[in-house]
Amino acid sequence: MARNKRCLMAYEKLRADHLDRMAWDEVDYLDPENTYNLSAAEQEYLKHYSDLVVDYKGVWTDVDLTGSLEPPKDLFIDVRVLRDAGEIQTEYGVFNLTKGSQYYVRQADVQRLIQQGYLVKL
């Protein structure tokens, strides 16, 4: 009985570690393609943990801790606004992010908004 319990706890820890990696790798937890194998409790854990990671990266440091050392494949991307986010200022101008609108923007400028669920990459 104790062996079975240890095996189940190890499996649960492995799944939690995988969810943590997903949050740090900025996987979109709102996308069903990324969460179709997760239970409701795991989806909730991923959402809350991702929110904590976003808060930590946004408040406590000016350096993007999850930034890749490799250059992005696409410097500019098409995005669609899922929720109103107001105006954002970029070096290429001001964008008013209203629900349903689409923009061709620099990926680095909107990466955090994509992770927070305001935008979706097309």
Which phi-psi region, left, alpha or beta, contains residue 88 (left: φ > 0; alpha: ψ -120 to 50)?
beta
81: exposed, middle or buried (Cβ count in 10 Å: 0-12, 13-18, 19+): buried
CB atoms within 10 A of CB 60: 9
* pLDDT > 90 fraction of the chain, expressed in percent and rounded: 17
pLDDT, one tens digit per residue, over 64-98 is: 666 667 776 778 889 999 888 888 888 888 888 88
Note whether 78 and 103 are within 8 A (CB). Answer: yes
What lies within 8 Å, CB to CB, of 97 at 6+ separation is 81, 84, 85, 86, 87, 88, 103, 113, 118, 119
Q: Tens digit of pLDDT for each residue in 43-68?
A: 899 889 988 887 877 766 666 666 66
